Homo-oligomer: A and B are copies of this chain.
Amino acid sequence: MEKPILFPCNLSSIPQGYSTFVTSAGIKDRSLDVGIVVSEKTASAAALFTQNRIVGNPILVGRKHMKKGKLKAIIVNSKNANVLSGSDGYENTVQLCEFLASKLNCRPEEILPCSTGVIGRPLPVQKILKAIDSLPASLQNPPQFDNFARATMTTDTVPKYTSRKVGNASIVATAKGSGMIEPNMATMLSYFFTDAEIESQILKEMLTRVAEKTFHCLSVDSDTSTSDTVAIMANGMAGKVDLQEFEESLCSMATDLTKMLAYDGEGATKLFQVHIQNAPSFQEARAVGKSIINSPLVKTAIYQGDPNWGRIFMAIGKTGFSFIEADKVKILWGNPPKEYRDTEEELASLSAYLKENAILDLTVDLKAGKEKATVYGCDLTEEYVRINAYYTT
């Protein structure tokens, strides 16, 4: 079955005062590998970074630069993560920020640098400096956020972006990620750009709450990137907005991107949405959901429609939470949710449901509280193995 296109991206609403630059610096090949977004006015900004203890040089630099909550630009390169990349790795990122700042006439601290790709190779920083030497003249306006999203891709098969209107303001968001994806108090590479006027501390709080319910509920493969970054820039050119409405839009956009990321997981043919209900807390609900979407036995079963629902119970039980009682737990499939468990006919129906749908919904009722969470994953296929058995070579 050809993988259906589930998520058309849209750019119907573009924030004011942003321009973009996208190119191939030839880091690995001739595909797009450098993307820059610049704001006309210095923007309020916030960012979350990976909680992996081993991080890329751009994370080390980015954490410092975000302290003042102000950004003029974000620069991303793909094909090389600048992680464990030798003694020059940190200096390369610093140099990149200084060069771009000189071009944009801002302070280096107003640049957020990001790199994604292979770990452990020196960053060919000269190639990137050369590729962006034509700035600022070559900045594109109107901005091309779709191409920016494309420049950030690694093993992604499609660029991921979306937009919303909030009062007079607009928001565009992009994301990239396909493997090494289990955000854990941080996220993959994702960026929000808006012309709303919001101060950086509020942006940080919003972003933290939104990530908790969206990106942190995602896992493609249980692995956590050393480069994960999610950031937001708000240049204020459209004035103030209703903050609650704005946060709801952020959350809705982040949910869309999370689904796109799961569905574009390496080798994935299915988006797997697991809804945990009636847990003692959101955190425990999410942990049960994560255990299900990270189980290789569950992931392989849903791939080919094996109605092996016992593996779902196994994954629930292996969390070890004492509130889990086998006799109480209910698992239901589809939308609306339905139980398929006992007869051969039910198993055949479950198998057909798993085989015939690109979006799979599983609802787990723990009957152990009042909280809930939804997590997003995908299946595990032979293609996943092939992609990752030959990635650097």
Contacts and interface: CB of A to CB of B under 8 A. Distances in A.
A54 B223 CA distance: 26
Contacts of A384: 296, 300, 385
A301 B360 CA distance: 29
Copies of this protein in the assembly total: 2
B326 A54 contact: yes
Interface in A351-393: 351, 380-382, 384-386, 388-393
Contacts of A224: 314, 317-318
Contact of A53 (B54, B301, B305, B321): B321
A297 B307 CA distance: 27
Interface stretch (A3-11, A21-29, A78-86): A78-86
B119 A314 contact: yes
A342 interface: yes
Contact of A81 (B182, B295, B310, B329): B310
Contact of A303 (B119, B120, B318, B385): B385
A221 B297 contact: yes
B223 A222 contact: no
Interface string A319-336: 111101110010000000
A294 to B, nearest CB: 7
Nearest to A85: B310
A297 B180 contact: yes
A157 to B, nearest CB: 18
A308 to B, nearest CB: 5
A53 B319 contact: yes
Interface in A14-61: 51-55
Contacts of A274: none
Contact of A313 (B54, B380, B381): B54
Interface residues of A, number: 66
Given A318-B223, A326-B55, A342-B86, A119 B308 contact: yes
A305 to B, nearest CB: 8
Contact of A300 (B294, B300, B389): B389
B53 A310 contact: no
Nearest to A316: B54
A83 B318 contact: no
Given A351-B393, A389-B300, A54 B314 contact: yes
Interface centre among A221, A223, A341, A391 (most CB of B within 10 A): A223
A135 to B, nearest CB: 30
A380 B300 CA distance: 12
Interface in A75-116: 81, 83-84, 86
A223 B184 contact: no
A118 B297 CA distance: 12
A389 B301 CA distance: 5
A51 B320 CA distance: 7
A322 B52 CA distance: 10
Closest 9 pairs (CB-CB, A-B): A119-B310, A54-B317, A300-B388, A304-B389, A224-B318, A382-B382, A52-B317, A53-B317, A120-B310
Interface of A: 51-55, 81, 83-84, 86, 118-120, 179-180, 182, 184, 221-226, 294-297, 300-301, 303-311, 313-322, 324-326, 329, 341-342, 351, 380-382, 384-386, 388-393
Given A304-B393, A308-B392, 7 more contacts: A81-B310, A223-B296, A223-B311, A224-B314, A297-B388, A300-B389, A307-B392
12 contacts: A52-B317, A53-B319, A54-B316, A84-B310, A118-B308, A120-B313, A222-B222, A225-B314, A296-B384, A300-B385, A300-B389, A382-B385
